[in-house]
Structure 1
Amino acid sequence: MSGLLALLEAMRPLQWSKNLFVFTGLVFAGKLADPQMFLTTVAAFACFCAVSSAAYLLNDLVDVERDRLHPRKRLRPLASGRLSRTVAAGAGGALAAGGLVGAFLIRPQFGWMTVAYCVLMALYSLLLKREAVLELFVIASGYVLRAAGGAAAIAVHISPWMLSCATLMALFLVLCKRRAEVFAADAPEQHRESHAGYTPQLLDQMIAVATSATVVTYMLYAFQSETARTHTGLFWTVPFVIYGMFRYLFLVYVRGQGENPESLIVRDPHLLGSLLLWGGLSVFLLWGN
């Protein structure tokens, strides 16, 4: 039982929240009430949960020795010895295979999107995460592949505006995460080689650019896109996006948080509230018009 719990922990179930990007195409195509498309998207979400967990296991296998030197990461199942490398490798292979087979059964186009995600994450774990700045775009591409993959699974068009917003929002979150990691007292440079390429000034400038670009792009989407012309009132969602991003910046810069965005969003009532209000209003406007 302890071995299974250790494996589940290493699979990072809390990180599965990132795979909710798969639902982007379903929601913004106005198909959330379509039972067949909804179930297909749920299946696509499950496939991405499987392959993303495989990616986390690979990452931990590659970094196990380095993680043992980290004050917090040394407690991870592989680094602490609670999970053997053999079990982790076998489980990772099974998860990747199962996720890919399921993806191709859903739709070949979605299958190839999932393959692209797996290849990208493997390159990240083995090589690209050591490259400052480039690693940011690799992680952001993972979010875009989730959103585009979800649309491919149900054969709907996803707006370039939404893909742009997803890319920029992902960059914003990753940059804030890197800033929190670099500035944390227990995360010196040697724990992640790419940190050596970042300075406080560089990170702050990139965060400012990502914040501005995300807000402007979303505003253009909400006011000028084809979706906005078809579904009037989408501009009412803009304040929730701006408030949520400003609140996140407050938590990162003032309270020194941001290392774990997936848990921070759930823990902070302001962030969670703005996210739920944005999501609820978006669905209402897309369905009500």
Structure 2
Amino acid sequence: MSLKSTSTIYLIWKQLRPQQWSKNVLLFSALLFAQEYGNINALLLSVFSFFAYSLTASSIYIFNDYKDIESDRNHPVKRYRPMASGLLKPKLALGIGAVLLLGSLSTSFIVNPIFFLILIVYFVTNIMYSLYLKHVVIIDMMIIAFGFVLRAIGGAVIIEVPFTPWFLLCAMLLSLFLAIGKRRHELVLSMEENKSHRKVLENYSLPFLDQLISIVSSATIVSYAVFTFTSRNSPYLMWTIPFVIYGIFRYLYLIHIKKLGGAPEKILLEDKHILATVILYTMSVIVILTYFS
């Protein structure tokens, strides 16, 4: 394999943004709370849903990067993306995106038609977001949260288990919390550089976003507490509430003190405290549902 072809493969892989796939771990939450993690068939279906969502998301990233090539070139970070930097040909990227999308949608239709419809809604919603909705104040953040709710629903549908309204509310509020934090980081960055890289930021202010973060973070903790208290599997899930509180407080610390929050998926993988909290939380849920349900 030549050096050029190796470089092209690397650029394509980078264009797919695999680091963003960590968002799709939410698809395994239904497997976890339904205590189906010992079911090989359910596990394989969850893994399939993870890659179906990930490849669909990558096709959306390709479309979004193609549409925003010019604006990304003026961004301090996004200008290094494969297409914006001029290293990856747009036509090649779009072709790969089309193949990934058709592959994920066609296999999803064969495996589970309802999951296929959810994936279609996810794709269409994100395309609308890329074309217009990301410029609409407040709606831009709610669309991001809606995407996470679709992930939670998709994870339950693919293994055919029920989901509770409180669980979906927790997923929506937590994702909305992350979305607001992301907007706040972008606003701080634009204020420091005296240049806005996202048009919708003109409609936001730090006090407004801080107030939204306060409301949503509080609502997330309360909603999760109610979810654990009313859980059909085990009321002892309330023992995991401290992990959720610490995780939210830690993220608030990173947003306000460390000036982070622009890439939640990066924080999940790089901040040792957040990563350890997620691991301990998952292990605690498994132990509680296995021995105290």
Given candidates 222, 238, 247, the residue that maps to 2:250 is 247
**Aligned residue for 2:219?**
213
Give percent identity, aligned residues only.
38
Contact preservation (8 Å) 1:182, 1:188:
no
**Aligned residue for 1:100?**
105
Whole-angstrom CA distance in 2 between matches of 1:104 and 1:283: 31
Given candidates 278, 284, 287, the residue that maps to 1:284 is 287
Contact preservation (8 Å) 1:189, 1:196:
no
**Aligned residue for 1:174?**
179
Q: CA deviation at 1:287?
A: 2.0
**Aligned residue for 2:3?**
none
Change (3 A) 1:161 1:30: same
**Aligned residue for 2:157?**
152
Structure 1 counterpart of 2:204, one-letter code: Y
**Aligned residue for 1:273?**
276
Contact preservation (8 Å) 2:149, 2:172:
yes
**Aligned residue for 2:41?**
36
Q: CA deviation at 1:226?
A: 3.6
Query: After TM superposition, where is structure 1 displaced by more than 6 Å over at least 4 residues in a row?
Result: none
So what's the TM-score if we normalise by structure 1? Answer: 0.96
Q: CA deviation at 1:256?
A: 0.5
Number of equivalences: 286
**Aligned residue for 2:239?**
236
**Aligned residue for 2:206?**
200
Whole-angstrom CA distance in 2 between matches of 1:30 and 1:89: 40
Q: SS of the residue aligned with 2:83?
A: helix
**Aligned residue for 1:75?**
80
Contact preservation (8 Å) 2:228, 2:235:
no
Gapped regions of structure 2 (runs ≥ 5): 1-5
What is the aligned-residue RMSD (CA, Å)? 1.2
Whole-angstrom CA distance in 2 between matches of 1:104 and 1:35: 21
Whole-angstrom CA distance in 1 between matches of 2:193 and 2:84: 16
What CA deviation, in whole Å up to 9, does each residue of 1:218-258 have, x standing for no partner? 011111x143xx41311100000000100110011011111
So what's the TM-score if we normalise by structure 2? Answer: 0.95
Gapped regions of structure 1 (runs ≥ 5): none
**Aligned residue for 1:161?**
166
Matches within 5 A, 1:46-85: 46-85=51-90
